[in-house]
Chain A
Amino acid sequence: MKHILLVDNDVLFTKTITSLLQKEHLDVSVAKDGKEAAIALAAGDFDLVITDLFMPYSNGFELVNTIRQNKFTYIPIMVVSNVTKVQSIANCFRLGADIYLQKPLSFPLLLSEIKNLMLNQRNVAA
C-alpha cells in the first residue's frame, strides 16, 4: 500500500482528505506542520508528500526545501494551498515541488495527480 504524508494544520481538511484517500486504498499519515513532517519523514518511508504552504512553526516552503536538501531519496511533493500569488507558486517549484494544486480542490483531480506523481516516481526509480 502506498504511503502518503499529508501536512496541514487544518483538521477539517486533513480528516476529509485522509478519509477520501483511505477509500482509494492509500495509507495516509498526518503532520500538523513542517517540523512534525520532518520528524515523520526521518522516521518513515513515504511515497508522496502533500503539503499546505502556510502552517505554524515551519511552513510549506521550508518543508519542500528540507526534503529537497536530503538528496538520499526522491519523494514527489504536491503543494495544495489557497495561495494565488504567482511568485509564491513559482517559489514552490523553484524549491523543488512537483505540482501545485489550488484550493478549493477537486478530489478527482487530486487523485489523478497523485496517481501521475506515483507513476512518474516508479519510472524514475526504474
Chain B
Amino acid sequence: MWLHKEFLISILFGSWSFSWDSFPVFIKICFIISMLALFGIVIAMVDIAVQRFSRKRLEKKTALLSVRINELLTSAVMMEEPAMQKKISFVKSDFTIDSLYDSGIPDKEVNKILVTEMIRYRNYFSGQIAERIRKLYLDLSLHKEAINRLHKKNWETKAAALSELFKMDIEVDPTDLLQLVDDKNRYIREFARLSLIKFTKADPLQFLRDLSEPISQWEEFEIFQLFQQKKDFTLSSLEGLIALDKEPSIVSLCLKLAVHFKQEAALSLIINLIKTPNLKLRGEAIACLGKLEAKDTEKELVAIYPEQPHVIKLEILTALGRMQSRRCLDFLEKEFISSSDFEIKKYASDAIIKLYPLSKSTIDKLMLNAGILNQKILNHSLNPLINAS
C-alpha cells in the first residue's frame, strides 16, 4: 500500500527517474514492449486510415475518369472512317487524350482504366468498332507497355499483359511466347498457349509437341474454341501428337481436332490408340473412328470387342452405328438378340437403327421375330423424339 502510494506520488510529481529505477528489469522490458506495441498500433491505424482515405479519393477520381474514357471511346467509335486514319495527332487533339493524364491519377492507373474499358468495348462489339478500338490502342502505344510487362518477374503482371495483348488482338513475338508455354504458372501458360494458337498460321499445334505437362479441361475447351474460330490456317499433321506415349490430355484434344477438321489422314494414328491401357482415351479413340466413319477399322473393332470392358463395348457399338456400313450388321444383330445386358441391347439397337436404310430388312425381321422386350427396345430406338447417342 505504501509503495503504491509512493508510486502514484512519483507519477504525479514527475519524479520519473526515481520510480523508473525502482522497477525490476523485467517490468521495464515489459513496459517498453507495451509502449512499442501501442505505438505500432497507432501507426498502423493511422496508416490504414490514410490509405482508405486516399483509396476512396482515387476511386472517386477513377469513376469520373471511367466515364470520361467511355465518352472518349464512344466518340472514337463514332468517328467517320477518314478521320480515324489520321493517327496520333488526331487522337491527341480531338480525343483530348492528354487531359486524362492531368486528372491527378497516376499515369499507370489511367492506362489501366483505359485498357480495361477498351477490352470491355471489344467484348461488346466486333467488326469495325473492335478494329477502331484496337487501332486506338496501337496509336497510344499501349501495346508497347504490355509487351514490356511480359518480361517482368511478377506472374500476375505477366499474365495480365498476355491477357491484354490476346484480347486486343496484338501479335506477340513467337519466341517470347514459346518461353512462356511451359511456365510454372498456369495462367501464364494458358494465355501463352492461346496466343500462340491464335497468331500462328503455319503450324499452330507446334507447341503441343514439346509439352509434357497435362492440359486442363478448361484449356482444352479454350484451345478447341479458338481453333473453331480460326480461319486462315492449316492443321498440320497430327503425327507425334496422337501417340501412345503422349500425355493423354493432349491426345484427347488432338482426337477432337481430328474429328472437327475431318483428318482422315490421322486414322492410322488413331487406330493405334485402341491398344492403350487408358480406358478413357481408348473410348475416345473408338468414338473418333466412328465419327470419322472409318469403315476400314470395323473388322478390328469387332475383333477386339469380346475382351473389352463394358464401357468400351458400348463405345464400339456406337461407333459401328456411325460407320454406315452393312458389314457389321450381323454382329450388331447377334449382340442385340443374344446379349443379356440391357445397355448392350439398347446400344446395339440404336446402332442398327442408325444404319437405316441399310438395315431396313434387319429391322423388319427383328420387329417380327424378336421378343417383347427386344421389340420395345427397337421401338424406343426408332422414336425420332428420343435422341440416340
Stretch at the interface among A41-49, A58-66, A68-76, A101-109: A101-109
A-contacting residues, B61-108, CB 8 Å: 70-71, 73-74, 77-78
Q: Which residue of A lies closest to B129 (CB)?
A: A107
Roughly how many angstroms separate A103 CA and B125 CA in the complex, as a whole number? 7
Instruction: Return chain B residues, CB-CB under 8 Å to A109.
Output: 127
Do the beta carbons of A104 and B130 come within 8 Å of each other? yes
Do the beta carbons of B123 and A103 come within 8 Å of each other? yes
Roughly how many angstroms separate A15 CA and B130 CA in the complex, as a whole number? 16
Within 8 Å of chain B (Cβ to Cβ): is A16? yes
Selected from A10, A19, A103, A107, the residue in CB contact (under 8 A) with B74 is A19
Instruction: Return chain A residues, CB-CB under 8 Å to B236.
Output: none
Per-position 1/0 for A88-119, Cβ under 8 A of B: 00000000000000011111110000000000
Q: Count residues of A near B (Cβ-Cβ below 8 Å).
A: 17
Do the beta carbons of B121 and A12 come within 8 Å of each other? yes
Instruction: Return chain B residues, CB-CB under 8 Å to A10.
Output: 124
Do the beta carbons of B126 and A12 come within 8 Å of each other? no
Chain B contact patch, size range: 10 to 19
> Given the known A-B contacts A16-B77, A20-B78, are A103 and B70 also in contact in the complex, defined by CB atoms under 8 Å?
no
Within 8 Å of chain A (Cβ to Cβ): is B128? yes
Within 8 Å of chain A (Cβ to Cβ): is B122? yes
Per-position 1/0 for B111-129, Cβ under 8 A of A: 0000001001111111111
Within 8 Å of chain B (Cβ to Cβ): is A23? yes
Per-position 1/0 for A4-15, Cβ under 8 A of B: 000000111101
Do the beta carbons of B121 and A106 come within 8 Å of each other? no
Per-position 1/0 for B260-283, Cβ under 8 A of A: 000000000000000000000000
Do the beta carbons of B125 and A104 come within 8 Å of each other? yes
Which of B74, B77, B120, B125 has the largest number of chain A CB atoms within 10 A?
Answer: B125
> Given the known A-B contacts A11-B70, A15-B70, are A107 and B124 also in contact in the complex, defined by CB atoms under 8 Å?
no
Do the beta carbons of A13 and B124 come within 8 Å of each other? yes
Roughly how many angstroms separate A105 CA and B126 CA in the complex, as a whole number? 5
Do the beta carbons of A16 and B124 come within 8 Å of each other? yes
> Given the known A-B contacts A15-B74, A19-B74, A20-B78, are A107 and B117 also in contact in the complex, defined by CB atoms under 8 Å?
no
> Given the known A-B contacts A82-B123, A103-B124, A104-B123, are A12 and B70 also in contact in the complex, defined by CB atoms under 8 Å?
yes
Roughly how many angstroms separate A20 CA and B127 CA in the complex, as a whole number? 14
Which of B77, B120, B127 has the largest number of chain A CB atoms within 10 A?
Answer: B127
Selected from A19, A104, A108, the residue in CB contact (under 8 A) with B124 is A104
Roughly how many angstroms separate A55 CA and B130 CA in the complex, as a whole number? 24
Do the beta carbons of B125 and A23 come within 8 Å of each other? no
Give, as a whole number of angstroms, the nearest-CB distance from A101 to chain B: 11
Selected from B123, B125, B127, the residue in CB contact (under 8 A) with A16 is B125
Do the beta carbons of A106 and B125 come within 8 Å of each other? yes
Roughly how many angstroms separate A16 CA and B71 CA in the complex, as a whole number? 9
Binding site for A on B (CB under 8 A): 70-71, 73-74, 77-78, 117, 120-130
Binding site for B on A (CB under 8 A): 10-13, 15-16, 19-20, 23, 82, 103-109
Q: Other CB < 8 Å A-B pairs besides A105-B125, A106-B125, A108-B127, 12 of them? A: A12-B73, A12-B117, A12-B121, A13-B124, A16-B77, A19-B78, A82-B123, A104-B123, A104-B126, A106-B126, A107-B127, A107-B128
**13 residue pairs from A and B, CB less than 8 Å apart:** A12-B121, A15-B70, A15-B71, A16-B121, A16-B124, A16-B129, A23-B78, A82-B123, A104-B130, A105-B124, A106-B125, A107-B128, A107-B129
